[in-house]
Amino acid sequence: MHSVDDDRRPRPSAQQTARERNGVLLMLAGATAIGSMGLAAGGTAGALLGAQLTHTSAGAGLPPGLLVVGSAAGALLIARQTARGRRGRGLMLGYLLGAVGAVLVVGAAVMRSLPLLLVGSTVLGTANSAIFMTRYAALDAAAETDRGRALGTVFFSTAVGAIVSPMLMGPSGTLAEAVGLPRLTGLYLVATAAFGVSALFFSGMSPPRVPRLGRGASVLAHGGDAGAAETDGRRPGSARGAAVAGLRGALHDVRTRLALAALTAGNFVMVGLMAVAPLHLVTHGSGLDLTGTLIALHVAGMFGPSPVSGRLADRFGATRVVLIGGVLLAATGGAGVVIDDRGVPAMACHLLVLGVGWNFMIVGGSALLMAGVPESLRPHAEGIGEVVMGVGAAVASPVVGVAAALGGYGMFSLAGTVVAIGVLVFARRVASRS
C-alpha cells in the first residue's frame, strides 16, 4: 500500500505549465480557505473563555498565548516533515491535531477546567501553523518571478474562512446551546469540522489517493537538504549539522534578519491587540454578533490585501512591502492609545488598518526570508519563520493581559508602536542599501 512516507516525488520542473501551476495553487487555496474557518476559535472565543474561567481580564491572554506556543511547535513539526520530502503529511498532521485541540477546549468549557483549556489551546495551535505554512507550498508551486503573486493567492484564500468564522460567533453559539454546550464553544465546533476536512484534503492530495488532487503531490513532496540526506546515504546527524551551519550563514544576510524581525514584530503587535480587543469590545457594550462582525473586518484587512501585497513584493521588492507594513502598524498603535472611548466606527477603522499592516509585514517578511536563504535550506527557514512569529505572539499575550488590567487597550497600543517603529527604521536602512 502506498503511504505518505513513501512518497518522494520531485519538485515541479521549470517546464511545468502555467495551467498546472495555477491548478495546484487553487487546490492549496481551497484547503486553506476551509481550514481558516477555524481561526477565530482560538483567538476570539479563546480570549473570552480565558477571562470567563479565570474571572479576570488578565486571563484573556492565556489561551491566545498558548495557541501560538502550539503553533510554533506545529511549525517545527511541519518543517521537519517538509525537509524529509513530506510536506503534505506535515500539513495533514497539523490540521488533525488542531481538531483534537478544539475538542479538548469544548470539554474544558463543559467541565469549567482551566488546565484543560490551556492544554487544548496549545494543541489547537498546530492547525494555525498548518494554515499559515501552506503559503510556502505556494512559493514552491510558482515560477521564480511570480512567487509574490502565488503567496498572495494562498494567503488571500485564508480570508474566505477567517472572515466568515468570527461572524459565526453568534449563530454557532446558538447551535452549541441547542445541543447543551456552553455558548462560547460554538466556534470550536466549527474549528473541529474545518480542521478535520482540511486534514482529509491533504491526506488525499499527498499519496496521492485521489487522482485529481494528486497534481499537488510534487509540491507537497518537495524537501530540502535533510530530505536529500535520507536518500543519498548521509547520516541524519551530519545533515542536521550542515543545515545548522547553513542557517547561521544565512543570518549574516541582512535580508534574513529583517525578515525575521518583520515576522516577529508584526505578530507581536497584531496578536497582542487582538488578544484584548474582543474583551474590550464586550466590556464596552458590544454584543457577540457586533464583536464578531468587527473581528471579521479586522481579518478582512489581514488577508484581503494579499494579492496586492504579493504583486508589490514581485514588482518593487519585499523590503518596501515591509516598510509599508511598518508605517501602518506604527500608525495603528499610535491611534490605539487614544481610541479607547471613541465608539464603534473608530474601533472598526482601527482594527481594519491593523489587519492591513500585519498583512504587509507578513507577506513582505515571508518573501524576504525565502530570498535570503539557499533553496536547500528553505524548509528549515520556514520553520524558523513560524517560530519567531510564535515568539512574538507568545510574548505579546501575557504582556497585553497585564496591560489590559493596568491601563486598558491604549497601554499595549503604545508598546506596539515602539516595536513597529523599530522594524520601520531597520527596513529603511536595508532599503537604502539596495
Question: How much is the pTM?
Answer: 0.74
Q: Which of 357, 356, 368 is nearest to 151 (CA)?
A: 368
- The CATH T-level fold of domain 16-216+242-433 is Growth Hormone; Chain: A; (1.20.1250)
Average pLDDT over residues 144-163: 79
What integer is the mean pLDDT of 105-112? Answer: 93
36-91 pLDDT, tens digit each: 888 877 767 887 888 888 887 767 778 877 887 888 889 889 888 888 878 888 89
8 Å CB contact between 47 and 275: yes
- Does residue 135 surpass a pLDDT of 70? yes
Hey, what amino acid is at 154? Answer: V
Question: 3-17: per-residue pLDDT in tens?
Answer: 434 444 444 454 446
Q: pLDDT band for position 281 (50/70/90)?
A: confident
pLDDT band, very low/low/confident/very high, at 261 (cuts 50, 70, 90): very high
Is residue 419 pLDDT above 80, yes or no? yes
The runs of H, that is alpha helices, within 179-235 are 186-205, 217-220, 225-232
What Rg, from alpha-carbon coordinates, does the chain have? 21
DSSP letter at 209 equals S
pLDDT-wise least confident of 150-154, 216-220, 348-352, 368-372: 216-220
Q: What is the pLDDT of residue 18?
A: 67
Contact 416, 329 (CB under 8 A): yes
- Average pLDDT rounded to a whole number, residues 318-335: 90
Q: Is the pLDDT of residue 373 over 60?
A: yes
The confidence score (pLDDT) of residue 193 equals 94
List of residues 6+ apart from 426 with CB closer than 8 A:
258, 261
Lowest mean pLDDT segment, chosen from 168-172, 208-212, 304-308, 406-410: 208-212
Each domain of the chain, given as residue ranges in start order, spans: 16-216+242-433
Q: What is the reported pLDDT for 5?
A: 42
The average pLDDT across 357-384 equals 84
Please state, in angstroms and rounded to a whole number, the distance separating the CA atoms of residues 364 and 321. 5
Strand ranges (DSSP E) for 36-169? none
Read off the pLDDT of residues 193-232 as tens digits, 9 standing for 90 and up. Answer: 999 999 988 887 655 555 555 555 555 655 444 444 444 4
Q: How far apart are CA 284 and CA 304, in angstroms?
A: 28
Contacts of residue 376, defined as CB under 8 A and 6 or more positions apart, other chains included, come to 224, 225, 228, 246
Q: pLDDT at residue 94 above 60?
A: yes
Rounded to whole angstroms, how far apart are CA atoms 434 and 424? 16
Q: Which of 88, 96, 80, 74 is nearest to 3 (CA)?
A: 88
Q: What would the pLDDT profile of 389-407 be if each residue is shown by its tens digit?
A: 878 877 886 777 677 677 6
Better-scored residue on pLDDT, 332 or 262:
262
Share of the chain above pLDDT 90, in %: 24
- Look up residue 177 and give its three cell numbers: 446551546
Maximum Cα–Cα distance for the chain, whole Å? Answer: 64
- Identify whether the C-beta of residue 417 lies closer than 8 Å to the C-beta of residue 334: yes
Q: Looking at residue 2, what is its pLDDT?
A: 42
Contact 278, 347 (CB under 8 A): no
Q: Which residues of 203-231 are buried (b: 16+ CB within 10 A; e: fewer)?
A: bbbbbbeeeebbbbbbbbbbbbbbbebbe
pLDDT tens figures, 240-257: 555 555 556 566 778 888
More confident of the two residues 144 and 3: 144
| Residue whose C-alpha is closest to residue 184's, from 66, 51, 351, 35 | 51
Q: Could you give the C-alpha distances from 177 to 53, 170, 180, 232, 291, in angstroms and in order?
A: 18, 11, 5, 56, 19
Of the ranges 36-40, 231-235, 302-306, which is most confident? 302-306
* d(C-alpha 227, C-alpha 219), whole Å: 14
Question: What pLDDT is attached to residue 4?
Answer: 39
